Amino acid sequence: MSECPECGRAIEKRDLIEGEIFPCPDCGMELEVTSVEPFKIAAAPREAEDWGE
Amino acid sequence: MSNAFTLGVFYTVIRPEEKWILEAAANRGIPVERLHDEEVTFPLVRNGFKADLVLNRSVSHSRSLYALRFFEHYGVPTVNPYDVVSLCGDKVFASLRLAEAGIPTPRTVVALTPEAALKALDEVGYPAVLKPPVGSWGRLMAKVDDREEAEQIIEHKTALGSPNHSIFYVQEYIEKPERDLRVFVVGDEVVAAMYRYSSDWRTNAARGGSAEALEPTPELSELALKAAAAVGGGVLAVDLMESPGGLVVHEVNPTPEFKALTGATGIDVAEKIVDYVAEVAKR
């Protein structure tokens, strides 16, 4: 269990994998799994100017 | 399926696309080495990683370019190769290559200074579209309706001060239905296609447009395959618009997203990509 750094909502590990990005179910902030064991999350990286497809 | 090779996946973040690719590789018994673009270091002599082939899924164009060049330097094939990503990642070079291959594209004029950009816009005629040469997801693109607006936008771009905004890629504004077409090419096959709808003139899925499956006509498939081949082939999303004069290719994406495409078509694009990289690994 970890917490959204923006709104504090408890986030469960479920089937998330390291590096995975997902929105916080409460506040919608984009989060990233930075570690699975122990389970840690942080704000997802900010989009840079050269990011894309 | 052979598992005699280790697949390197070079990535920035794990989106549904990357997760599906990892799952498809696992289902085929292909060992995967995850290479996070924020952590990998690149000495001049290969050291410390196992991958026999690297699939590039980094969302950063500059990180992709340097990394792919290093992997090739180490003798590790990449999908897509450096040359393809380098070409497709710069709209100027991509347009040149598509034009050289006889692919219909929107009328395009490039200018290298703010003064010449105004001339380029006059040549193309208003409304026109002004794009940075490098960039995606419709970011910092501008629809320019008249000369006054052009002067303001160019002044703002100049104030940004970045080299990317000092080169002006000007394109005719295509009067099209509120949609464009995306054709996903893997190797020499069209694996899926969709319409992308949006009332915004930018129909990029990243901007919130909706998607609908599309059964590609022979003409559409042929044009997409020709465009993909023109830039060097591989795993590519060819974006097209329906102009009054027929289909035009406006972009070939070298690290394409396919979440919306998979959702709209039900086609497992990740599987197709993994099968393709397994084939490339055997060569």
Closest CA of chain B from A8, distance in Å? 22
Q: What distance in Å separates the CA atoms of residue B58 and residue B40, rounded to the nearest whole number?
A: 12
Q: What distance in Å separates the CA atoms of residue B162 and residue B26, rounded to the nearest whole number?
A: 42
| pLDDT greater than 60 at residue B283 | yes
Q: What's this model's pTM, rounded to 2 decimal places?
A: 0.94
As its CATH architecture, domain B7-87 has 3-Layer(aba) Sandwich (3.40)
Structure tokens given for B61: 């164009």
Residue B207: per-residue pLDDT: 66
Mean pLDDT value across residues B55-81: 97
The domain that holds A35 is classified in CATH as 2.20.28.160
Asked if residue A29 is part of any domain, the answer here is yes
- Looking at every residue in chain B, the average pLDDT score rounds to 94
Is A52 close to B164, i.e. CB distance below 8 A? Answer: no
Mean pLDDT value across residues B100-125: 97
| pLDDT greater than 50 at residue B243 | yes
Burial (Cβ within 10 Å: 0-12, 13-18, ≥19) of residue B217? exposed
Residue B206: per-residue pLDDT: 65
Percent of chain B exceeding pLDDT 70 equals: 97
Mean pLDDT value across residues B261-277: 98
As its CATH architecture, domain B175-273 has 2-Layer Sandwich (3.30)
Q: Which contacts (CB < 8 Å, 24+ apart) does range B109-115 have?
A: B109/B170, B109/B171, B110/B167, B110/B168, B110/B169, B110/B170, B111/B167, B111/B168, B111/B170, B112/B166, B112/B167, B112/B168, B113/B166, B114/B154, B114/B155, B114/B157, B114/B158, B114/B168
Q: Which fold is adopted by the domain B108-172?
A: Dna Ligase; domain 1 (3.30.1490)
Asked if residue A7 is part of any domain, the answer here is yes
Picking from B19, B140, B255, the nearest residue to A17 by CB comes out as: B19
User: Of B65 and B209, which is predicted with more confidence?
Assistant: B65
Residue B48: per-residue pLDDT: 86
Mean pLDDT value across residues B170-192: 96
pLDDT class for B160, splitting at 50, 70, 90? confident
Q: Where are the domains of chain B?
A: 7-87, 108-172, 175-273
Q: What ipTM does this complex have? A: 0.93
Residue A31: per-residue pLDDT: 97
Residue B162: per-residue pLDDT: 83
CB A21 within 8 A of CB A43: no
Asked if residue A22 is part of any domain, the answer here is yes
Which residues lie closer than 8 Å to B113 by C-beta, 6 or more apart? Answer: B166
The interface residues of chain A toward chain B in range 21-40, judged by CB-CB distance below 8 A, are: 21, 32-33
Closest CA of chain B from A44, distance in Å? 8
Residue B205: per-residue pLDDT: 63
Residue B72: per-residue pLDDT: 97
**What pLDDT digit, counting tens, does each position of B114-153 carry?**
999 999 999 999 999 999 999 888 788 999 999 999 999 9
Q: Chain A: residue nearest B236 by CA?
A: A53
Q: Which domain holds residue A7?
A: 2-43
Structure tokens given for B95: 């347009």
User: Of B274 and B201, which is predicted with more confidence?
Assistant: B274
CB A28 within 8 A of CB A18: no
Which range is least confidently modeled, B105-114, B143-152, B163-172? B163-172
Structure tokens given for B98: 């598509």
pLDDT class for B1, splitting at 50, 70, 90? very low
Cis previous bond, B80, omega within 30: yes
User: Of B249 and B205, which is predicted with more confidence?
Assistant: B249
Is A52 close to B140, i.e. CB distance below 8 A? Answer: no
Place of tokens 């006054």: B148
Asked if residue A51 is part of any domain, the answer here is no
Per run of 10 residues, the mean pLDDT along chain A (length 53 residues) is: 95 96 96 96 92 91
**What pLDDT digit, counting tens, does each position of B194-222 carry?**
999 987 777 776 667 799 999 999 999 99
Calculate the alpha carbon distances from B147 to B127, B129, B212 in Å. Answer: 9, 12, 36
Q: What distance in Å separates the CA atoms of residue B162 and residue B157, rounded to the nearest whole number?
A: 8
For testing the chain A interface, which of B32, B61, B88 should be mutated: the one with the most A CBs within 10 Å?
A: B61
Mean pLDDT value across residues B73-96: 97
Asked if residue A48 is part of any domain, the answer here is no
Q: Chain A: residue nearest B63 by CA?
A: A50
Picking from B15, B22, B62, the nearest residue to A50 by CB comes out as: B62
Q: How many independent structural domains does chain A possess? A: 1
Closest CA of chain A from B57, distance in Å? 9
pLDDT class for B3, splitting at 50, 70, 90? low
Asked if residue A39 is part of any domain, the answer here is yes
